[in-house]
A and B are shown apart, each in its own frame.
Chain A
Amino acid sequence: MWKTWKPEIIRAIILLAVVAAAALLLNWVRTPILFAAADRGMIRKADAGSLKGVWLIDSWKHKGWPEVDTGAPKSDGAVGQDGSNSGKRTEPKVLSINAQQAKDLFDQGGCVFFDARMPQEYEEGHIPGALNWPYELFDQYYDKYIKELVQDECIVCYCIGGSCDESFHLSQSLAYEGFSEAYLYEGGIEEWRFYEYPVKTGSEP
């Protein structure tokens, strides 16, 4: 049995090794190419960020993922810069905040809240004052909002909560666009409702 399958298994291992080497090489070279294209204005930085490669020693847990409940929001360096004015590019970081921190930012004002869900969901109930920027329609809304925002403005992104991805992607994309203070409210509107914080219905912010 072993002798009949041995050549096939050896081939499978060779195939795996070759593909692994090619994949790691591909992911290693694609990131600088994408960011070089972004620097030349050929693609948006947000696209370069979301399409960038991964490399063997990267850890999504420590490098690319939002940190969870890491303390009160900070305005000084809590969020990484795009780094286009420095020789070395750093990963933009989006700080994850909990419900209380989101409420504090809401009460204090000064932060722009973005609801990353589709318009119909937004109309069914959203955080008062939050603007609707559906991540699935990122490009359509890009021109509408990007000119109005100042890059040192504080932004908070949320979606329905739980495991929804839209707010994560929106916050990361905006961080890559250079927004220096981007927060991700992972609990989303479900958690916001759970704590009976104010909710507004309709298409108006």
Chain B
Amino acid sequence: MTGEPNTSAALDDRSRSTAAVSAVPPVVYHVFRILLGLIFVIASLDKIESPWNFGRAIHVYEILVGPLAYLISPMAAIMPLLELVTGILLIINRWVRPASLLILAMNIVFIIAIASVIVRGMDIDCGCGLDKGVLASIAGTQADAWALVRDFVVLAMNLVVLFAPQSGRGRSRAACMPPCSPPQGGDG
């Protein structure tokens, strides 16, 4: 990317798009990154242990109905592992932006699903993966307005992680812009 003639224009674009969050102190970025990673890792564990139960949780949302019901199994299989891997990547500060993009996509799906449950007046478990112990008592387990608030908080944290100028091993060449120096080594 650095050899392309319009790199500076692209970087200007990036500068403008990230202006709102570029002022975020690095410590906030790192805290959000690690916190977000931990949330997704913890939330994935129960689902990975029992994808069958997670499939039922998706089923009771009654969004994937009719022929779309065939998407439930692939979702129940793929989404938990995706949460685990993206969470780990955030924690270890590698491939942060790709992981963050995937988390953004999942988060939007969660928000739409929970909002639809609220609109339809349903009373179901959210299937968020935080169904046990202290976390459940703090976070709750129902697909309700509180779950929606939680998802928006996660969304906000994720946007900070996604758009903040990155430093260290998590950056990629594309993400590098002044004052970030060009990356050294193979992670790219």
Chain A residues proximal to chain B, CB less than 8 Å: 1, 3-9, 11-12, 14-16, 19-20, 22-24, 26-27, 49-62, 64-65, 162-163, 165, 168-169
Contacts and interface: CB of A to CB of B under 8 A. Distances in A.
B10 A26 contact: no
B14 A61 contact: no
Contacts of B35: none
Contact of B97 (A8, A27, A64, A168): A8
A55 B174 contact: no
Contact of A1 (B10, B81, B86): B10
Given A3-B1, A19-B85, A54-B77, A61 B69 contact: yes
Interface in B1-19: 1, 4, 6, 10-11, 13-14, 17
A163 to B, nearest CB: 4
B72 A11 contact: no
B70 A163 contact: no
A146 to B, nearest CB: 21
27 contacts: A1-B10, A1-B14, A3-B4, A4-B10, A4-B174, A8-B98, A8-B175, A9-B101, A11-B172, A12-B98, A14-B98, A20-B78, A20-B82, A23-B78, A27-B51, A51-B49, A51-B50, A53-B51, A54-B55, A56-B77, A59-B72, A60-B58, A60-B73, A60-B76, A65-B59, A163-B122, A165-B125
Given A8-B98, A165-B125, A56 B172 contact: no
Given A8-B172, A54-B77, A59 B101 contact: no
Given A11-B98, A15-B98, A27-B51, A60 B174 contact: no
Interface of B: 1, 4, 6, 10-11, 13-14, 17, 49-53, 55-56, 58-60, 65, 69-70, 72-74, 76-78, 80-82, 85-86, 89, 95, 97-99, 101-102, 122-125, 172-175
Nearest to B177: A4
B163 to A, nearest CB: 11
Contacts, number: 126
Contacts of A12: 97-99, 101-102
B10 A22 contact: no
Contact of B13 (A4, A23, A54, A168): A4
A64 B70 CA distance: 12
Nearest to A14: B98
A4 B14 contact: yes
Nearest to A10: B98
Contact of A162 (B10, B17, B97, B123): B123
A6 B1 CA distance: 10
A169 B98 CA distance: 37
Contact of A8 (B55, B58, B73, B101): B101
A16 B55 contact: no
A27 B13 contact: no
Contact of A56 (B50, B59, B73, B173): B73
Contacts of A163: 60, 122-125
